[in-house]
C-alpha cells in the first residue's frame, strides 16, 4: 500500500458533539466527505477503502467502533483485537482527516432502544448463522450516517451480504448517501484479509487458504463454461473438506441482488462461504459476472 508521510496526523474525535462540530465546518467549506466505517485492527483491506475515498472525496472520515450490538453473547466481542495506536499511525499515513472512535455511551446513551429492522436480504446465510447481527449492523451504520453526514460511504465486498443490507436500507429509507462497494484485498496466497485472521494458529492458517482456493476453483469452472450451481457447490465443499475444514457453516451460490439460491448460473451469481476453523469464524466470496 502506498503511504504519504507528508500528511498531517488525523484528528482523533471521541464525542458526538465534537464530531458534529467538525463535520459542520467541513460541510460549510463545501467539502465532499467520504466515510469509512471500521471496527479497527486495520489492515490493507480497510486502507484500500480509505484510498478510494481519498481519490473520490475531499476529506475522509474513518470510524473505529467495535459495535457490541452486532455480536451475540457467544461471539468474540471481548477478544476482538483493539489496536487503536497502530490504527491511528496507519490512518495518518493515508491522509485521513478525522478518526471518530467513540466510547459505547456516545453511540448508545442510557435509554437507547431504537433499532433498524433490517431488510429481507439479511435473513439467509449470515442472518441464519448470526441471528441479531444485521440488526446491530444496520442500526450502527444508520447512526454513523446521521452523525457523519458523508456524501459517500465505502464498504468492502469481503462482507458482501452486509454491503447488500446497507445498500437496501439506503434505498428503502431514501438516505442521502452513496454506497460504494470496493474489491476484496487478499494476502499473497489468496486468503482474504480480515482482522480475525490473527486468531489463527499456523496450522489453522494453512487450512484457511482453502477457502479462497475453493472460490478460485469455482471461478475457473465458471470461466470454462460450467453453469450448474450444484456442481459448483460440490466443488467448493470438496476443496474445503480436503483441507479438513470440519465446520462448514454455509456454501452458497446465489443471485447477487436477491440472494436467492440458483440452479443455473445466469448473467450474475455469487459464491459465498462461511466456515469455522478452530474457534475462528471466516467468510469469503467471489462474484461471477
Ligand atoms: P470491519 O472492521 O471488519 O467491520 O470492516 C470494515 C470495512 O472494511 C467493511 O466494509 C469490510 O467489508 C471492509 N473490509 C474488511 N476486510 C476487507 C478486505 N479484505 N478487503 C476489502 N475490504 C475489507
Position 2 scores a pLDDT of 46
What's the predicted TM-score (pTM) here? 0.97
Q: Which residues of 158-194 are buried (b: 16+ CB within 10 A; e: fewer)?
A: bbbbbbbbbbbbbeeeebebebebbebbebeeebbbb
191 alpha carbon to ligand 1 midpoint, in Å?
Answer: 13
In what side-by-side order are the strands of the sheet with 269-277?
247-254, 269-277, 280-288
93 is catalytic: no
Residue 246, pLDDT score: 77
pLDDT of residue 38: 98
Gyration radius (Cα) of the chain, Å: 19
Residue nearest atom 10 of ligand 1, based on CA coordinates: 155
Catalytic residue (one of 43, 46, 93, 94): 46
Closest ligand 1 atom to the C-alpha of 42?
A: 2
Atom of ligand 1 nearest to the CA of 193: 19
Ranges of residues in the chain whose predicted pLDDT is under 70: 1-7
Q: ∠49-89-179 over CA atoms, to 5°? A: 15
pLDDT score of 3 = 46
Q: What residues are in contact with ligand 1 under a 6 Å CB criterion?
A: 38-39, 45-46, 48-49, 155-156, 158-159, 182, 184-185, 192-195
| Distance separating alpha carbons of residues 173 and 169, to the nearest angstrom | 6
Output the pLDDT for position 6.
54
CA of 155, closest atom in ligand 1: 10
Q: Are the CB atoms for 65 and 39 separated by under 8 Å?
A: yes
Phi then psi for residue 25, to 5 deg, are -70, -35
Ligand 1 centroid vs 111 CA: distance in angstroms? 30
Contacts by residues 27-30 (CB-CB < 8 Å, ≥ 24 positions apart): 27/149
Amino acid at each position: 500500500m502506498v503511504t504519504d508521510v507528508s500528511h498531517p496526523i488525523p484528528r482523533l474525535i471521541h464525542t458526538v458533539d465534537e464530531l458534529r462540530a467538525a463535520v459542520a465546518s467541513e460541510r460549510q467549506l463545501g467539502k465532499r466527505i467520504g466515510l469509512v466505517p471500521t471496527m479497527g485492527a486495520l489492515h490493507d483491506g480497510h486502507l484500500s477503502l480509505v484510498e478510494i475515498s481519498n481519490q473520490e472525496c475531499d476529506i475522509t472520515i474513518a470510524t473505529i467502533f467495535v459495535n457490541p450490538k452486532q455480536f451475540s453473547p457467544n461471539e468474540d466481542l471481548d477478544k476482538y483485537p483493539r489496536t487503536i495506536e497502530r490504527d491511528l499511525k496507519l490512518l495518518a499515513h493515508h491522509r485521513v482527516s478525522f478518526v471518530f472512535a467513540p466510547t459505547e455511551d456516545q453511540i448508545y446513551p442510557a435509554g437507547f432502544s431504537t433499532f433498524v429492522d433490517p431488510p429481507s436480504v439479511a435473513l439467509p446465510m449470515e442472518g441464519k448463522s448470526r441471528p441479531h447481527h444485521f440488526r446491530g449492523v444496520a442500526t450502527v451504520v444508520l447512526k454513523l450516517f446521521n452523525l457523519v453526514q458523508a456524501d459517500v460511504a465505502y464498504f468492502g465486498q469481503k462482507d458482501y451480504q452486509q454491503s447488500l443490507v446497507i445498500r437496501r436500507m439506503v434505498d428503502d429509507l431514501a438516505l442521502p448517501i452513496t454506497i460504494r462497494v470496493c474489491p476484496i484485498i487478499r494476502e499473497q496466497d489468496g486468503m482474504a484479509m480480515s482482522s480475525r485472521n490473527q486468531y489463527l494458529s499456523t496450522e489453522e492458517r494453512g487450512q484457511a487458504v482453502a477457502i479462497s482456493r475453493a472460490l478460485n476453483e469455482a471461478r475457473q469452472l465458471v470461466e470454462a463454461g460450467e453453469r450448474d450451481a450444484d456442481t459448483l457447490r460440490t466443488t467448493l465443499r470438496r476443496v474445503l473438506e480436503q483441507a479438513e475444514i470440519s465446520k462448514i457453516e454455509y456454501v452458497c451460490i446465489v443471485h447477487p441482488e436477491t440472494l436467492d439460491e440458483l440452479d443455473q448460473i445466469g448473467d450474475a451469481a455469487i459464491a459465498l462461504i462461511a466456515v469455522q476453523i478452530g474457534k475462528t469464524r471466516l467468510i469469503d466470496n467471489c462474484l461471477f459476472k
